[in-house]
């Protein structure tokens, strides 16, 4: 056995030995058992549409109380701790999540953690075993830290990179295929993994049969609202609501769930208020980020938005 193969096996064993696996638990049991659910990832998570769409769906579920959702995604971030030469025009290297992870967990205090990395982790280069190993090592270290605190984890495969929109000399989406397969293979080790990558690939490929220019990632990297819905619907499908996951849009899903008009917009506002507050409170090394309110002020504002949401729901 090659040394790095042995290292991965040992790391996997260590990561899984820290805490009982969550894979045997039913998704809604994980959600119902969580007072705080935190989403950790890069700019796709930071933008937060898929987080808010999933949270809007949660608002239609008979949960009492509803969990607090905190999005602490950070643009440009990696779990591989890698950065390409001249990133952001040479203004700053990509931040790595390891630098802030302990502070984020201390500040947000999650019971359940959703983790979505990969898009930036191959730094937009062709597949290389050394970079792939960095991704695996980083994910294992993140998992070990969280499980060691008793936090349950759901891993999300990275969204697709649209090679047709911004072609490189290699298929970067094939790099993400490999990263996604590795995560999916960890299911056999007891990991809870939600696949968004391959469903996105399949959806876009099907649409391109009739519209060759179709995309859900206009800049190749960042999903538009339709792309974020593709991510959110896989989380909803994982949670067991196949009918809602099969809706063509978040609007159609909310109509199916008889959600009150205007509630989703309030959920989006609440998500952004808490996101900015907790990002600022935990701290990071990514310049150019908007400062959030102090957590007590953000919590008060979030509570006000929650009251508005509940008022809409009770009037329905």
> pTM to 2 decimals?
0.92
Q: Cβ(21)–Cβ(190) under 8 Å?
A: yes
List the CATH code of the domain at 3-315: 3.40.50.1110
Band (pLDDT 50/70/90 cuts) for residue 22 is very low
Question: pLDDT digit string (tens) for 75-120?
Answer: 999 999 999 999 999 999 999 999 999 999 999 999 999 999 999 9
Q: Cβ(305)–Cβ(266) under 8 Å?
A: yes
pLDDT of residue 315: 83
Helix, strand, coil percentages for the chain (3-state, nearest 5): 55, 10, 40
pLDDT of residue 21: 38
Question: pLDDT digit string (tens) for 181-217?
Answer: 999 999 999 999 999 999 999 999 999 999 999 999 9
Pick 191 or 10 by higher pLDDT: 191
Is pLDDT at 24 greater than 80 in this prediction? no
Is pLDDT at 19 greater than 70 in this prediction? no
Is pLDDT at 50 greater than 80 in this prediction? yes
Please list the alpha-helical segments (H only) found in the chain. 3-17, 27-32, 43-47, 49-58, 101-108, 129-148, 172-185, 197-207, 225-238, 242-245, 250-256, 263-282, 295-315
Please list the alpha-helical segments (H only) found in 18-128. 27-32, 43-47, 49-58, 101-108
């Amino acid at each position: 056995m090659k040394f790095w193969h042995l290292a991965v096996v040992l790391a996997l064993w260590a990561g899984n030995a820290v805490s009982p696996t969550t894979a045997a638990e039913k998704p809604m049991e994980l959600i119902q058992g969580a007072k705080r659910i935190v989403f950790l990832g890069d700019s796709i998570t930071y933008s937060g549409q898929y987080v808010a769409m999933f949270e809007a769906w949660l608002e239609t579920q008979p949960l009492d109380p509803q969990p607090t959702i905190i999005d602490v995604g950070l643009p440009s971030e990696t779990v591989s701790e890698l950065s390409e030469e001249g990133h952001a025009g040479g203004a700053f290297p990509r931040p790595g999540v390891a630098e802030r992870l302990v502070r984020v967990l201390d500040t947000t205090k999650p019971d359940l953690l959703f983790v979505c990395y990969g898009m930036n982790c191959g730094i937009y280069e062709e597949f290389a075993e050394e970079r792939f190993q960095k991704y695996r090592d980083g994910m294992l270290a993140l998992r070990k830290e969280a499980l060691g605190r008793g936090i349950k984890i759901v891993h999300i495969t990275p969204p697709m990179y649209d090679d047709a929109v911004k072609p490189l000399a290699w298929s970067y989406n094939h790099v993400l295929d490999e990263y996604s397969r590795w995560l999916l293979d960890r299911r056999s080790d007891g990991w809870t993994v939600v696949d968004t990558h391959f469903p996105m690939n399949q959806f876009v490929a099907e649409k391109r049969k009739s519209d060759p220019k179709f995309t859900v990632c206009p800049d190749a990297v960042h999903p538009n609202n339709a792309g974020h819905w593709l991510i959110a619907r896989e989380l909803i499908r994982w949670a067991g609501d196949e009918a809602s996951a099969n809706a063509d849009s978040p609007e159609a899903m909310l109509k199916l769930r008889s959600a009150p008009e205007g509630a989703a917009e309030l959920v989006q506002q609440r998500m952004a208020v808490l996101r900015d507050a907790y990002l600022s409170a935990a701290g990071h090394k990514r310049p150019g980020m908007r400062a959030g309110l102090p957590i007590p002020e953000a919590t008060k504002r979030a509570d006000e938005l929650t009251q508005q949401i509940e008022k809409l729901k009770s009037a329905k």
